[in-house]
Amino acid sequence: MPGMRGSTPVLALALLVGVLIADVPAGVQSIGVCYGINGNNLPPPSDVVQFYKSLGITSMRVYSVQLQALDALRGSGISVILGTTNNDVAVLASSLSAAAAWVQANVKPYYRAAVDVRYISVGNELASDTAQGILAAMRNLNDALAAEGLGGAGAGIKVSTAVRLDVIANSFPPSAAVFAQPYMGDVARLLAATGAPLLANVYPYIAYRNSPRDIQLNYATFQPGATAVRDAGNGHVYTNLFDAMVDAMYAALEKAGAPGVRVVVSETGWPSAGGFAATPENARAYNQGMIDHVARGTPNRPGPIEAYVFAMFNENMKPGDETERNFGLFYPNKSPVYPMKFK
């Protein structure tokens, strides 16, 4: 995949993130980057943490308990979405004691040692047939964290689950969106009760790839010249697909009786190679546009959006089609995949 080597793009990314963070209200972190490890040529976790710090990136998402990464994060000032694996969910759902053991082994030693675990994600994009397991695991982890003084309905670590946009039906226009399965209403109400956000993986790329005749590329990539879309249901005008997708999730939460639940965009990105419309130019346009945009929020929910770019590195062993291995902002040698030009 083509890229530009050298320090200038890296410095530009650091400056962008620094400016963005300075522009959002105190206590609200806008941009993070997902750290996946499906590669045999990736830098060691200690180097990765230092790389995040050198770029001014202060939020990270990891998809499993990575002990070396957690050790490196001690005192780093980087907050973390800590994931359980999908295979962990059945065990965590089985009993409070199983969840307590997981918290004691994987959270408590690090949280007490200045690792800022912000959220725990119960799995990632789990299928609807595991719905009862998701709910039980979330409840058990909430109770286990509360028992250790690490979470609960007040301050502390919040427990959520990361979902795809296909958990909603009637996603267009955004105001018409509802959850497709009843279990998501239960998830939404649990999040409302505990003060946790819903983690949503938002991919305009996938929507555009699946429907290029119906969706303009400029609309999907935050570029000028796209035809704006008016939602008659809420009166808002949408100039990009990202906002429409996020507001569809908010509409579904409102209909489920959880209007106060915040949406955290736990993954979003655009591949630079490997498939339809996967080019460095489109990836740069989308990621730059998204980073520039999130401080403003959506038409229905103005204000900073907490969002995580997928992903830090290209991962050469990630399963799936070729695009899955080409979402990285950087190559494993830490050179940028494409230049980031900012005002």
User: Is residue 195 included in any domain, yes or no?
Assistant: yes
User: Is residue 45 included in any domain, yes or no?
Assistant: yes
Active site positions, annotated? 125, 267
User: Is residue 134 included in any domain, yes or no?
Assistant: no
From residue 103, alpha-carbon distances to 91, 92, 136, 141 in Å are 13, 10, 15, 8
Among 238, 150, 234, 164, CA closest to 199: 164
Q: In terms of residue numbers, what domain contains 239?
A: 8-79+101-107+159-325
Q: Decide which of 240 and 20 is more confident.
A: 240
Would the pLDDT of 28 be above 70? no
Write the CATH number for 168.
3.20.20.80
Question: Confidence class of residue 21 from pLDDT cuts 50, 70 and 90?
Answer: very low
Q: What is the pTM of this model?
A: 0.90
State pLDDT tens for residues 260-285. Answer: 999 999 999 999 999 999 999 999 99
Residues 300 and 235: their CA atoms lie apart, in Å, by 9
Task: Report, as an integer, the average pLDDT of 296-315.
Answer: 97
User: Is residue 234 included in any domain, yes or no?
Assistant: yes
The one-letter amino acid code at 306 reads: E
State pLDDT tens for residues 76-105. Answer: 999 999 999 999 999 999 999 999 999 999
The structural domain count of the chain equals: 1
Residues 3 and 340: their CA atoms lie apart, in Å, by 11
User: From the CB of residue 28, how many other CB atoms can be counted at a distance below 10 Å?
Assistant: 12
Measured in degrees and rounded to the nearest 5, phi and psi for residue 337 equal -70, -35
User: Is residue 299 included in any domain, yes or no?
Assistant: yes
User: Is residue 183 included in any domain, yes or no?
Assistant: yes
For residues 66 and 42, the answer to whether their CB atoms sit within 8 Å is no
User: Is residue 316 included in any domain, yes or no?
Assistant: yes
For residues 308 and 267, the answer to whether their CB atoms sit within 8 Å is yes
User: Is residue 127 included in any domain, yes or no?
Assistant: no
For residues 339 and 323, the answer to whether their CB atoms sit within 8 Å is no
Would the pLDDT of 143 be above 50? yes
